[in-house]
Structure formats: structure tokens, C-alpha cells
Chain A
Amino acid sequence: MDLGTQKVKAVVLKDNMVVGRGQAYSGFDPTSAAKAAVNASLKQANAQLTDVACFVATGSSMELAPYAKSTVSMMGADAKAATYRFPKARTIIDVGAEEARAVKCDERGVMTDFVVNERCAAGAGTFIEAMARALEVKLEEMGPLSLKAERASQINASCVIFGESDVVSLIHRQEPKAEIARAIFDAMADRISSMVHRLGVNPEVILVGGVAKDPGFVSSLNRKLSVKVLVPEYPDFNGALGAALTAVNRCKGGQK
């Protein structure tokens, strides 16, 4: 289970293969949300709660997870899952709703170094949501819209609120929405690539987290990093997958 600030994601593994996925909004009660996510994933796997040998939790609210007897850090989970999907993965960038982090790992998927963007929500998913609201564009349309732009407008990326009002004034000046959308992604990508550089960019670079689903962000990040990032399927489930993989190791010798 990955108990994130916005959503809880759950992944079920059977014989090291993914057989079920589930998610639910965290809201004010992440524990219940986790239960719902786990149930959804088990339904997909045609399994029962009692079939599960081991639960491991990760995420910013991991201490609230039901069922799990142990936890793993988000960084560790990221590293494990990324190398599972891309054996050559050495740098993982995880951009979630309120936090972004970069993780370095070795060929075994063991984390060797990491860096987290602290105290700055302008480098995470919340930023895009707030900007999309200000632009009056649906969140899922932001990416495709931004890809239409040749250049990016100038916006304040240090604060969600100031960024919002920049967007409003750009619209007043009749700047094309596509260029504003691109500016938003560029600003975020800039912040995140700065953070990644502090770690050092070792190929291959994997991008995960909810924001990885957005083609606009991926395009901006590729440009700022001067490297093409690889995005796995269901990138927002990477953390949950990593926790599940950790569970495999931890519960060896347990019941089937």
C-alpha cells in the first residue's frame, strides 16, 4: 500500500507478478481509504484478504496503514519498483501530489542516495492542479494543451498563490493558454531537474508518481534534463509496487 497525501494505491503480487491494482482518495481518513484500495486490488486479483501472506506499507501516511506489520520508505520502494520494471534503472524521479523526490540506486534496486524537495509545493502535483484551476482548463487537458506551444510564458513558480495570479494576468494580456500551460510545466520541470542534479543524473532515469502520467510534464522534464526519462505503465502505482516487492522479501518463509 502507498498512502499518499491525495490517494492510497494498492498492488497485489502473486508469484512476483502484478495481479491486482486498486486506489481510493485519502480524504480525511486514509486508513479507510487504504482498506478500500486493498479491497479493490484483491477483487481484481480474485483473491481474499486472508490469501495475503504479507502487507507492507509506504507513503507519507504509512503509519496509518491497516493490516501492514511493517513499512518501507518511499525512496526504498521507488528504487525497488523501478529496477523491477527497468533493470537498468539507476535514477528515479518520483513526483507526487505534495512532494517530489529523486532516488539513486544500484542494479539490485537498493537505494544508495536520495534527495527530497522540502517546503516547496510548487514542485509537485498540487501546483499543476491549482494552475489548471486558474487557467480554467481540465487537469487532464493540461498536458496535451501544453504540447501545442512553441514557447513558454513567464510565470512565478515559487508559490502556488503568486503563480495563480500570474496566470490570471497572463490571460488578461491574452497570452495563448497553451503557452501558459507549457510555462507551468517548464517551471515545475526546472525545479525538479535542479533537485535531481544535486544527486547526479545516472541513466537510466525513470519518472514515476501521479504527475508522470502527464505528457506535458514529461516533455518539459526531458527538455530540462537533456535526457529522455522512461515512464512505466501505471507510474502512480510505483510506490505500492515497491512496497509489495519489499513484502515478498520480508515474508519469505511465511505462509503461502
Chain B
Amino acid sequence: MQRRTEITSQTIADKEFWRWSEYHRVITGKKWRSTDILTAGVDVGSVGSKAAVMINGEAYAWAITRTGSNSPDSATKVLDWALKDTGLKVGDLKFIVGTGYGRVNVPMANKAITEIACHGKGANYIWGPTVRTVLDVGGQDIKAIRIDQTGKVCSFLMNDKCAAGTGRGMEVFADLLKIPIEQIGEISLKVEEEPPPVSCTCVAFAKTEAMGLLRKGWSKEKVLAAYTRAMAIRMANLINRVGLERELVITGGQSKNIGIVRRIEKVLEIKCLPMPRWQDTGLDPMIAGALGAALFAKSLYEKAQKG
């Protein structure tokens, strides 16, 4: 049984369409002892900060918040929140690994590891040893990662010089079209016929592009579909360039955008491994990086103990 705490309210969602839910969760079935190897991973992304706490390499508690600019201590904040209701304090953790864009800003971390390695590891943890290709769409990054059966990175590719398709890009879009970001995926699928993808994906010109299409009489859903399709094609291209090998999974915020997921599957002619039902019992793919970091924390701790 899990407990959930959400801090968004419907009224905020009305005004700020780009705002997604921040929350923290503890798996209450689990208990920890001081002899356990308690570790944590803190993933400070450019848009979202995530922290995951593990007991002997098993997920126990986690939290996701927005990396604001008025919280230079977003690492501390998100870790504290993950520990809330666990009875644990930061000092009880044996080893902490920081990752993500802001990994150098995780003051309590014993080590920093890139989010590429952490997402590989995290994907392996969430979905198992059959995963070979991971697409992580973060706040400002898109990464395609090839891993082996242990989650170790074999090769990777990242988006270069263009933020189209990243989380921030989608947020801008949601706000523009006045659609709550958590519904952006569903709504993009509400079209009878799939429109052609937009030719200009630049986020900065999104407004002009969108306005042009709306003036042509396109519905909001159609505009959204056209954009989502263009983004999905970009992401599929990145996956192809790194080399697609089954199984494929998607992590990061965009994993929850069903519009993106379905379209990527269509282009690549492959089905991604299904997302675990994170709202109820499963692990949130958004914390894949933090989970990977917490796992690295465990093995680094064990290695240090061996001397």
C-alpha cells in the first residue's frame, strides 16, 4: 500500500497549464533497519528535481519537485521531501549520488555521476534485464542510450543545439494552447486523421507557427497532434542513429505523454515496454535517473567497505 501526497490543486492547473504534479511517495509495506544499506540518488534536472531512497537496492521512497530558480537548494528540498514520513534523516543514508544537470549542486552527495549512466541503470531496474535502448526526454535534453543487460551504458547520443521536443518545449506549448500539460498526450491523440508534422519545430517560434495553423482553421487538437508528431519523429531519428535494439523504454517526463509514446512506436514499428502503473503500484519513469543513482550509491558504498 502506498500513500500519496500531491500539492497541486485544480485552480493552479487552470492558470498555469505547464505545471505538472509534484509529489512524494513512500512504499509503506517496507521497513528499514539501521543495518540496511540505505542509499539515495538525487537527480537535479533543469526543470525537475527527483530523489529516490533505496533499502539494499530496493526502491523505498521518492519525490519529484520542480527545480525552481528561487531554490538553489532544490537538491536538499527534494531529498528531504523523499525522506518525509520514512522516519529517516539524511545522516542515516550511507551513500548519496548526485546526478543530472545540477549534479555539481548536490551538497550532500558523496559522488556525482552523469544522468546518462544513471538512466541506463534506472531503466534496467524498473523494467529488467531485457531493456537495450532507453530514450530519456528530460527538461532540456533528449538522450538515446544503449545499455547491456546489467544497465551499463554501451553508447549514447544526445540532442544537439536544439531544444525542440524537450520537456520545456512541451511546457511552452501546453501554455500556448492553454491545455493542462498532464493531458497534452491524450488530447493530441483526439484527432480523426493524423495531420502532417509541423516543419518548424523551434520552440521560440512555436507561437507564430501555432497561430498560423489555428488561423487556417485547425483545431487545437490538430495543432497539438502536428507538433507532437514532429517531436516524435525527431526522437525516433535519434534512436535510429544510436541504433535501435529491443527492448525500448522511455524515461523522463515525456514518458507520460502518451501522444509522444504512441507516435514513436508508430515510426519505429516497435512497441515500447509498457510503463509500470506508477500511479498505483509501479515506479515512476521520471525517477529512473534518481533510482540509478541510488543503485550506484549502493555499489560504491559496498566497494568502499571492502577497502
Interface size on B, residues (CB 8 A): 26
Given contacts A121-B204, A126-B204, A165-B46, are A135 and B69 in contact (CB under 8 A)?
yes
Which residue in chain B gives the minimum CB-CB distance to A174? Answer: B72
Which residue in chain A gives the minimum CB-CB distance to B45? Answer: A165
Main secondary structure on chain A at its contact with chain B?
A: helix
A28 and B215 contacting across the interface, CB-CB below 8 Å: yes
B69 and A161 contacting across the interface, CB-CB below 8 Å: no
A252 CB within 8 Å of chain B: no
A164 CB within 8 Å of chain B: yes
B113 CB within 8 Å of chain A: no
- Give the distance to chain A from B199, nearest Cβ to Cβ, in Å: 12
A134 and B69 contacting across the interface, CB-CB below 8 Å: yes
A159 and B204 contacting across the interface, CB-CB below 8 Å: yes
Q: What 0/1 readout, one digit per residue, does chain A (175-196) give for beta carbons within 8 Å of chain B?
A: 0000000000000000000000
In the assembled complex, which residues on chain A have CB atoms less than 8 Å from the CB atom of B168? 161, 164-165
Binds A, one of B122-130, B205-213, B232-240, B261-269: B205-213
B211 and A28 contacting across the interface, CB-CB below 8 Å: yes
- State the CA gap A169–B139 with chains docked (Å): 13
Interface residue from B102, B161, B215 paired with A158 (Cβ < 8 Å): B161
In the assembled complex, which residues on chain A have CB atoms less than 8 Å from the CB atom of B69? 134-136, 167-168, 171-172
Given contacts A119-B202, A159-B163, A169-B102, are A5 and B208 in contact (CB under 8 A)?
yes
In the assembled complex, which residues on chain A have CB atoms less than 8 Å from the CB atom of B169? 161
B203 CB within 8 Å of chain A: yes
B207 and A162 contacting across the interface, CB-CB below 8 Å: no
B133 CB within 8 Å of chain A: no
A122 CB within 8 Å of chain B: yes
In the assembled complex, which residues on chain A have CB atoms less than 8 Å from the CB atom of B140? 161-162, 164-165
A121 and B202 contacting across the interface, CB-CB below 8 Å: yes
Q: What 0/1 readout, one digit per residue, does chain B (53-84) give for beta carbons within 8 Å of chain A?
A: 00000000000000101101010000000000
- Give the distance to chain B from A95, nearest Cβ to Cβ, in Å: 14
Given contacts A28-B211, A159-B162, are A168 and B205 in contact (CB under 8 A)?
no
Which residue in chain B gives the minimum CB-CB distance to A126? Answer: B204
- State the CA gap A23–B129 with chains docked (Å): 61
B67 and A161 contacting across the interface, CB-CB below 8 Å: no
A236 CB within 8 Å of chain B: no
Q: What 0/1 readout, one digit per residue, does chain A (219-236) give for beta carbons within 8 Å of chain B?
A: 000000000000000000
Interface residues of A in 150-168 (CB under 8 A from B): 158-162, 164-165, 167-168
Interface residue from A5, A119, A161 paired with B163 (Cβ < 8 Å): A161
Given contacts A168-B46, A172-B102, are A162 and B70 in contact (CB under 8 A)?
no
A165 and B214 contacting across the interface, CB-CB below 8 Å: no
Which residue in chain B gives the minimum CB-CB distance to A133? Answer: B69
- Give the distance to chain B from A218, nearest Cβ to Cβ, in Å: 23
- Give the distance to chain B from A192, nearest Cβ to Cβ, in Å: 15
Given contacts A161-B163, A165-B101, are A172 and B204 in contact (CB under 8 A)?
no
- State the CA gap A160–B215 with chains docked (Å): 25
B166 CB within 8 Å of chain A: yes
In the assembled complex, which residues on chain B have CB atoms less than 8 Å from the CB atom of A164? 46, 140, 168
In the assembled complex, which residues on chain B have CB atoms less than 8 Å from the CB atom of A2? none
A122 and B204 contacting across the interface, CB-CB below 8 Å: yes
In the assembled complex, which residues on chain A have CB atoms less than 8 Å from the CB atom of B74? 172
B208 and A171 contacting across the interface, CB-CB below 8 Å: no
- State the CA gap A121–B211 with chains docked (Å): 16
- Give the distance to chain A from B155, nearest Cβ to Cβ, in Å: 24
Interface residues of B in 156-181 (CB under 8 A from A): 161-163, 166, 168-169
Interface residue from B72, B163, B207, B215 paired with A172 (Cβ < 8 Å): B72
Top 4 nearest A-B pairs (CB, nearest first) are: A121-B204, A161-B163, A165-B46, A160-B204
Sample (16) of A-B pairs whose CB atoms are under 8 Å apart: A5-B208, A28-B215, A98-B204, A121-B205, A127-B204, A130-B204, A158-B161, A159-B161, A159-B204, A161-B140, A161-B203, A161-B204, A164-B140, A165-B168, A169-B46, A169-B105
Give chain A's interface residues, CB within 8 Å of chain B: 5, 28, 60, 98, 119, 121-122, 126-127, 130, 134-136, 158-162, 164-165, 167-169, 171-174
